[in-house]
């Protein structure tokens, strides 16, 4: 009798100590944009492999949808890597569509453990080892960017003392880490990758701006998260690091850009709207913008149309900042030069001298394949209305 009790105690101790067996991929703290998580209908090849495996033997079987998407959503969100993680939100630009399958092949050992687990009323653990197959697709506004197919082993151990849902949580934890690791490794959510895949302009290679203009030195090109916003280059004063001028280069948000004056004036309206939005978000005390002025400059022997918008705003603490924006059209791109400054010592003429020094040496990428398609869609919508 004592021997039987000791055996039962041993089984209980083992049962309490059982944990699932899986590995966690190591990823960095590099932040990633917001993403929405979706379940994905298995692709034909993914589905055929699973069905074929099940048909090979009575001891082999494959199940779809082995991942709990709510648990996966929780693990991705808790990683603090993504700006936000949402479940099934179509409005989020980046979306991660995932299909999953679990492959199990039972042998003598697995059958024996099942018998023991049943005989001890689940005091002894029931161990199941599965090969988890994942088919994931990263998209941007519905455009496929990268497909991932990988697999990893996952061993679940369940007994009478196992908390409900523990296997689902651990599987989601393992998958979340693997997804983050691969997204970071391949840089597939970086603007550079996005621009390349969808055929947007290559600003790093085709954008030509002077390395310096007067006392201002250029910083590296920074791509916006959306190709319609383009690229930004900040010029910083050699001596006074707080003194800077920003240069933005981006596609004309229209299918028609033949008339520089009308394009630039139309863009001034967008600039006004942007600054009014910033006024609210930044809690400025006031914003005052004058009427735009359009003229033609002669720079390096060429006549260049330009439109200027000037004014001032009062910061939350009441400090006044003068602000000046110059707009140019080059190919299908707008070049926007903007500077805002407080106090004395700087004036509009300095910003204008900078703009003249820059525009005379600037060149931009030609219309991209991405913008050709976008503008075709705009024309079709206009024609149908």
Say whether both 166 and 19 belong to one domain.
yes
Say whether both 142 and 241 belong to one domain.
no
Q: What is the pLDDT of residue 345?
A: 65
Say whether both 289 and 232 belong to one domain.
yes
Q: Which two tokens stand for residue 350?
A: 């300095």
Say whether both 108 and 40 belong to one domain.
yes
- Of 129, 163, 189, the position where a domain reaches its end is 189
User: By the 8 A CB rule, do 127 and 113 touch?
Assistant: yes
Mean pLDDT, the chain, as a whole number? 88
CA distances from 300 to 167, 327, 348, 351, 357 (A): 70, 18, 21, 18, 9
- Nearest CA to 183 out of 134, 229, 133 is that of 134
User: By the 8 A CB rule, do 348 and 331 touch?
Assistant: no
Say whether both 57 and 147 belong to one domain.
yes
| Residue 153 β-bridge partners | 131
For the chain, the domain total comes to: 2
**SS3 of residue 206 by DSSP:** helix
The CATH number linked to 21 is 3.40.50
The CATH number linked to 334 is 3.40.1000.10
Residue 307 lies in a domain: yes
- Of 168, 189, 210, the position where a domain reaches its end is 189
Residue 348 lies in a domain: yes
Cα separation, 192 vs 132, whole angstroms: 31
Say whether both 242 and 315 belong to one domain.
yes
Say whether both 115 and 156 belong to one domain.
yes
Say whether both 126 and 169 belong to one domain.
yes
Say whether both 119 and 143 belong to one domain.
yes
Residue 372 lies in a domain: yes
User: By the 8 A CB rule, do 38 and 96 touch?
Assistant: yes
Residue 139, domain extent: 15-189
Task: Name the DSSP class of 350.
Answer: H
Question: Tokens 């929405």 appear where?
Answer: 36
Residue 272 lies in a domain: yes
Q: Which two tokens stand for residue 187?
A: 């840089």
Residue 67 lies in a domain: yes
Q: State the 10-residue block means of pLDDT for the chain, 385 residues long.
A: 35 50 91 97 94 82 94 97 97 97 72 43 62 97 96 80 76 97 98 98 98 97 97 95 94 92 96 96 97 96 96 96 97 97 83 96 97 94 82
- Distinct helix (H) and strand (E) counts, the chain: 10, 16
Say whether both 216 and 183 belong to one domain.
no
What does pTM read for this prediction? Answer: 0.85
- Of 125, 157, 189, the position where a domain reaches its end is 189
């Amino acid at each position: 009798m004592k021997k039987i009790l000791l055996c039962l105690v041993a089984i209980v101790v083992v049962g309490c100590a059982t944990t699932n067996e899986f590995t966690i991929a190591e990823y960095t703290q590099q932040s990633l944009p917001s993403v929405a998580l979706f379940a994905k209908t298995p692709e034909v090849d993914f589905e055929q492999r699973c069905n074929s495996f099940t048909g090979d033997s009575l001891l082999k079987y494959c199940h779809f949808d082995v991942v709990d998407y709510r648990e996966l959503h929780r693990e991705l969100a808790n990683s603090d890597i993504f700006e936000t993680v949402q479940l099934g939100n179509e409005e989020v630009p980046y979306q991660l569509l995932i299909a999953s399958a679990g492959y199990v092949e039972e042998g003598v050992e697995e059958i024996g453990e099942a018998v023991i687990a049943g005989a001890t009323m689940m005091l002894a653990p029931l161990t199941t080892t599965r090969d988890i197959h994942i088919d994931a697709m990263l998209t941007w506004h519905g455009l496929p960017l990268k497909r991932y197919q990988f697999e990893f082993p996952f061993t679940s151990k369940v007994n009478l003392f196992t908390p409900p849902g523990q296997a689902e949580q651990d599987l989601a934890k393992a998958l979340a880490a693997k997804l983050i690791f691969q997204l970071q490794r391949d840089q597939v959510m970086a603007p550079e990758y996005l621009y390349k895949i969808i055929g947007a302009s290559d600003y790093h290679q085709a954008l030509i701006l002077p390395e310096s203009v007067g006392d201002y030195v250029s910083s590296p090109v920074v791509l916006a998260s959306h190709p319609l916003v383009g690229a930004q280059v900040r010029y910083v004063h050699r001596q006074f690091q707080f003194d800077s001028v920003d240069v933005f280069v981006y596609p004309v948000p229209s299918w028609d850009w033949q008339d520089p004056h009308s394009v630039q004036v139309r863009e001034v309206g967008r600039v006004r709207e942007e600054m009014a939005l910033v006024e609210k978000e930044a809690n400025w005390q006031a914003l005052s913008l004058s009427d735009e002025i359009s003229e033609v400059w002669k720079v390096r022997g060429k006549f260049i149309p330009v439109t200027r918008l000037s004014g001032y705003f009062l910061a939350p603490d009441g400090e006044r900042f003068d602000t000046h924006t110059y707009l140019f059209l080059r190919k299908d791109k707008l070049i926007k030069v903007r500077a805002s400054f407080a106090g004395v010592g700087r004036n509009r003429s300095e910003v204008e001298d900078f703009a003249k020094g820059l525009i005379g040496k600037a060149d931009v990428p030609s219309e991209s394949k991405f913008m050709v398609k976008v503008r075709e869609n705009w024309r079709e919508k206009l024609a149908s209305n």
